[in-house]
Structure 1
Amino acid sequence: MTSSSSGYFEDEPPLLEELGINTRQIWRKTVSILNPIRSDPNLHEDGDLSVPFMFLLSFGLFQLLAGKFYFGIVLGWVIIASLFLYSTFNMIAGRNGCLDLYRCFSLIGYCMLPLVIFSAISLFLPRGGTLIFVIGMVFVFWSTRVCTSLLVRLASCGDEHSGLVGYACWLVYLLFSLLVIF
């Protein structure tokens, strides 16, 4: 009887496959975000929220290590930022806009990765110096560049307004960097 039950479990697919979690695709999406010059929009066509949520939690964890308890603020700002970018992009694109809120939240979460790295680096930088502002702006532009290019390429009819979309993304990521700096 024990041999039949162990044979039953051997025939089952792995748990991640049953849940529909593709670790290779998650890894490729993350590596794509790490390249600020060429990010692959084809990887981000289908949104997921597990990895962006993990990035947000790690951002909050690094802030906790810096002595700041910002978990609620970070999650609240991401929701507000997603609604802001969703409405801004769809107003700019008009009737031709095809950005949904789920994909917008996924993109904002994935593009938080450079700011998570900045949050980790800031633990070792002196507070209030010029260096942290300069490094912060580099990471803000990195997140802005990747998020803008992915938003414009994934949602149709946004090429001519990429500057406006970029400005909205810059405002979002600038707010998150200010949490790290101050």
Structure 2
Amino acid sequence: MLHQRQVPTAPFQPQRPSSSLPFMSFDISSAFPPPHLPSSPLFSDEPPLLEELEINPSLIWHKTRSLLNPFRVNSSLHLDPDLSGPFLYYIVFGLFQLLAGKVQFGVILGWIAISSIFLYTILNFLAGRNGNLDLYRCFSVVGYCLMPIVIYSAASLFLPPTGTTPGFVVAAVFVIWATRVCSRLLTVDELGASEHRGLIAYPCFLIYCLFSMLVMF
């Protein structure tokens, strides 16, 4: 009778069972199930970002183009006020001043706020109980009418020094342009009477003179 030779094993090793267990497969996806996606529309169905921010570039362009001719201002476009266009003008005005070596972003925003509140108060005093001008629309109109001063700020980078007589004449042209369109939009359209236009044009003239002085000095 032959004895079977046993293979030596390392000490302290557990004895293997005689019958090996079958291989059990494990699906990792069952342990980490995918997150439940809400039934929301796809990104392609979402409105554009500018529309969500209530920024209409087409409307801004049409309002700007309506102010290019100070003798024929289309006031119907400004019946729907917005602050995206004026804020764009503030930034562009500040950037042109920055190119001229002047950091005036805070001054521009502060003067716009004070001048808008000032004109809003005067118009409501003149209109009395029949006045329908709100402060939001006043901010919009004053900001859009700053466009000639922004053009003057850009042109001043290439013009001769503004301390001379031709420089004052050029500045006066842009100030009168801004005053005319602003008094038109605020007086005739809000008060319904052109006899108050000269009264409103005077503070508008002073306001845009201040902004032109930012460019000249």
Give the alignment's TM-score, normalised by structure 2: 0.77
Task: Tell whether 2:191 aligns with 1:136.
Answer: no
Match of 1:95 among 114, 129, 144: 129
Q: Matched residue of 1:67: which SS?
A: coil
Q: How does 1:167-182 map to 2 (within 5 A)?
A: 167-182=202-217
Greater shift in the superposed pair: 151-160 or 99-108: 151-160
1:14 paired residue number: 48
Distance 1:135 1:149 in 2: 22
Secondary structure of 2:156's counterpart equals helix
Quote the residue 2:98 is aligned against. Answer: 64
**1:56 counterpart SS class:** helix
Aligned position for 1:118: 152
User: Size of the alignment, in residue pairs?
Assistant: 177
Q: Distance in 2 between matches of 1:93 and 1:164?
A: 12
CA contact (8 A) 1:45 1:154 kept: no
Which stretches in structure 1 are left out of the alignment for 5+ residues? 1-6
The structure with the largest alpha-carbon Rg is 2
Q: How far apart are the structure 1 equivalents of 2:184 and 2:127? A: 15
CA distance in 1, matches of 2:160, 2:43: 54
- Secondary structure of the structure 2 residue equivalent to 1:125: coil
Q: Please state how far the C-alpha of 1:158 moved relative to its aligned partner.
A: 4.3
Cα distance change, pair 168–158 in 1 and its aligned pair in 2 (3 A): farther
* Pair 1:74-2:108 in alignment: yes
Letter matched to residue 77 of structure 1: W
C-alpha distance in 2, partners of 1:76/1:13?
34
Task: Say which of 60, 64, 68 aligns to 1:30.
Answer: 64
d(CA) in 1 for partners of 2:120, 2:160: 36
Deviates more, 1:16-25 or 1:46-55: 16-25
1:22-46 CA distance string (max 9 Å, x none): 3222211110111211111110012
Give the secondary structure class of the aligned counterpart of 2:50.
Answer: helix
Q: Deviations over 1:109-166 (max 9, x none)?
A: 0000000000000111222211211000000000000011111233134432111011
Mapped to 1, the partners of 2:159 and 2:77 lie a distance apart of 34
Q: TM-score, normalised by structure 1?
A: 0.90
Residue by residue, what CA displacement relative to the aligned partner does 1:81-108 show, whole Å, maximum 9, x if unpaired? 0011111111122221111111001101
**1:3 matched residue in structure 2:** none
Aligned: 1:85 with 2:113: no
Q: Could you say which structure has the greater relative contact order, defined with CA pairs below 8 angstroms and 6 or more residues apart?
A: 1
Identity of matched residues, %: 59
- 1:64 & 1:169 partners in 2: Cα distance? 25
> Counterpart amino acid of 1:32?
S
